[in-house]
């Protein structure tokens, strides 16, 4: 009986384990030094904010693992000996494997800033980071001011978390506008406004220069490169992206670049060793995706895929249409297909943007300038139906068709105000068209009676 060992109990590793169990009787072992049981990393913020306790963010009850014969080892893997097919743990013991899945995830980027290893400087990726934050910023007496560096998804979450304890936050964003390397300008501008509404001191277009220490090697202040301004603070949150967590593999013989190099089958250069999730790096980017995808959903999908391969149904990692979601303070964001930022737009990519007059609600629809083909949509403050957009992308619908059937895709709760007619009106007047909005149809939504 094959023994499958998985390093990492995040979403990628755990999904792989669950699917291998569904498909086979193999022995499964998960090794992690983070926590005893799987928890949802994306939910760590809610524990700090008091929406949930740590127990709530564990998706499976503790008996689940034993019942499904998934053995858990809480220890740190110091090295991989692929010739001996074994792992060496920090406690000195060995774990042998027949097949090894590396799912070690990410760690926060540190760009060599002076003072980046001081006490009070931290990221937010792991359970340990959460515990550290609870220590560094328990309240606004101990932590009188916080600085968050890096305007991405974790950055804005860190700001929201700290604000929930009424800690004043300065938010340093390198870009001229929040996350505008990803978001089109109109959306990015709306999020800027929302950040300010939440009394977060947003600094756009600035870089961290230096983190200053007090006499106890604890953070005292930071300085801004562009202005030289010094901002006193008790904590510095680093959220300038993440990087694969692969230091322990340096001399293992496994091919590394930024991440662990894998082919489309998620195989590394060493037989019987696979890598999935944040730590994996594709030799060639797939479509418009990045070679390293540090996203919850892609971690899960790689887990689903590698389980098939390991259980004898060898498959390429072949993700479907891109989708993602996030929440910026009070504003929910969903995206389906590809919508690039205003600067990063592809050739022949055009955008149609609609924003509500007073509410923080907007959408951006991207389409091919020449053919009018629908490419993707970003929505803020409106929920959309994944299945419907996935189908429209597969069917290569025209942007006109999407606009016409927009009501089919609405996923907001019942009785919510609906904005489709506004959106269609603006679309018609901008494009000089006369599209009539179709009523919602269950038949189309569920593709019934087709």
Which residues sit at the interface with another protein, rule CB under 8 A?
A: 11, 19, 22, 40, 42-43, 46, 49-59, 61, 138-141, 164-166, 197-198, 296-297, 300-301, 304-305, 308, 313, 315-321, 323, 325-327, 329-330, 332, 334, 383-387, 390, 394, 411-417, 442, 445-446, 448
Least gap, CB of 401 to another protein (angstroms): 20
What's 106-160 look like in SS3?
EEECCCCCCCCCCECEECCCCHHHHHHHHHHCCCCCCCCCEEEECCCHHHHHHHH
Least gap, CB of 382 to another protein (angstroms): 9
Least gap, CB of 69 to another protein (angstroms): 18
CA–CA distance, 270 with 337 (Å, rounded to integer): 34
Least gap, CB of 167 to another protein (angstroms): 8
Residue 139 or 257: which CB sits closer to another protein?
139
Least gap, CB of 422 to another protein (angstroms): 17
Alpha carbons within 13 angstroms on the beta-carbon side of residue 401 total 16
E strand or H helix at 333: strand 331-337
CA–CA distance, 360 with 358 (Å, rounded to integer): 7
Residue 285 or 446: which CB sits closer to another protein?
446
Residue 44 or 149: which CB sits closer to another protein?
44
Residue 18 or 82: which CB sits closer to another protein?
18
Least gap, CB of 144 to another protein (angstroms): 13
Least gap, CB of 398 to another protein (angstroms): 21
Of 92, 96, 68, which is closest to residue 2 (Cα–Cα)?
Answer: 96
Nearest-5° angle of CA 104, CA 109, CA 110? Answer: 130
Backbone angles phi, psi at 77, to 5 degrees: -85, 120
Residue 181 or 319: which CB sits closer to another protein?
319
Token representation of residue 225: 């490169």
Of 273, 296, 222, 276, which is closest to residue 59 (Cα–Cα)?
Answer: 296
The edge-to-edge listing of strands for the beta sheet with 235-238 is 121-122, 235-238, 146-149, 169-173, 201-204
Least gap, CB of 106 to another protein (angstroms): 16
Say which residues have a Cβ less than 8 Å from residue 153's Cβ, sequence separation at least 6. 179, 326
Alpha carbons within 13 angstroms on the beta-carbon side of residue 216 total 5
Residue 50 or 92: which CB sits closer to another protein?
50
Least gap, CB of 403 to another protein (angstroms): 20
The edge-to-edge listing of strands for the beta sheet with 349-355 is 323-328, 331-337, 374-380, 362-368, 349-355
Strand partners of residue 119: 218
């Amino acid at each position: 009986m094959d023994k499958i060992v998985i390093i990492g109990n995040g979403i990628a590793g755990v999904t792989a384990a669950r699917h291998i169990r569904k498909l086979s009787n193999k022995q499964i072992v998960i090794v992690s030094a983070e926590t005893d049981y799987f928890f949802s990393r994306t939910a760590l913020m809610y524990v700090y904010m008091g929406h949930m306790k740590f127990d709530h963010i564990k998706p499976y009850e503790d008996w689940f693992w034993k019942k499904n014969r998934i053995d858990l080892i809480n220890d740190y893997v110091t090295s991989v000996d692929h010739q001996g097919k074994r792992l060496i743990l920090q406690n000195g013991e060995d774990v042998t494997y027949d097949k090894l899945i590396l799912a070690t995830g990410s760690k926060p980027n540190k760009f060599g800033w002076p003072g980046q290893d001081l006490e009070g400087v931290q990221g937010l990726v792991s359970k340990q980071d959460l515990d550290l934050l609870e220590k560094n910023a328990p309240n606004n007496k101990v932590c009188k001011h916080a600085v968050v560096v890096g305007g991405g998804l974790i950055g804005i979450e860190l700001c929201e978390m700290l604000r929930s304890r009424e800690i004043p936050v300065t938010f340093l964003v390198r870009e001229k506008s929040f996350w505008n390397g990803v978001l089109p300008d109109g959306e990015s501008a709306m999020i800027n406004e929302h950040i300010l509404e939440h009394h977060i001191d947003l600094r756009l277009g600035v870089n961290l220069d230096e983190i200053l220490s007090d006499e106890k090697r604890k953070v005292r202040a930071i300085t801004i490169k562009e202005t030289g301004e010094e901002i006193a603070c008790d904590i510095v949150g680093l959220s300038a992206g993440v990087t694969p967590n692969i230091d322990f593999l340096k001399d293992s013989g496994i091919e590394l670049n930024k991440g662990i190099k894998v082919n489309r089958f998620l195989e590394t250069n060493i037989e019987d060793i696979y890598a999935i999730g944040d730590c994996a790096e594709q030799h060639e980017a797939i479509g418009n995706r990045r070679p390293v995808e540090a996203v919850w959903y892609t971690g899960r999908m790689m887990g689903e895929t590698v389980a098939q391969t390991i259980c004898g149904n060898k498959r390429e990692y072949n993700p479907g249409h891109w989708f993602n979601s996030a929440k910026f303070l009070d504003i929910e964001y969903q995206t389906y297909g590809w919508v690039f930022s205003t600067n990063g737009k592809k050739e022949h990519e055009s955008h149609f943007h609609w924003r509500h007059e007073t509410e923080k609600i907007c959408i951006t629809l991207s389409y091919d300038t020449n053919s009018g083909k629908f490419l993707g949509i970003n929505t803020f403050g409106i929920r959309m139906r994944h299945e419907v957009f996935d189908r429209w992308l597969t069917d290569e619908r025209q942007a006109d068709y999407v606009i016409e059937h927009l009501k089919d895709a609405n996923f907001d709760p019942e009785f919510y105000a609906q904005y489709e007619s506004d959106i269609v009106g603006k679309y018609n007047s901008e494009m000089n068209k006369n599209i009539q909005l179709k009523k919602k149809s269950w038949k189309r939504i569920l593709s019934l009676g087709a």
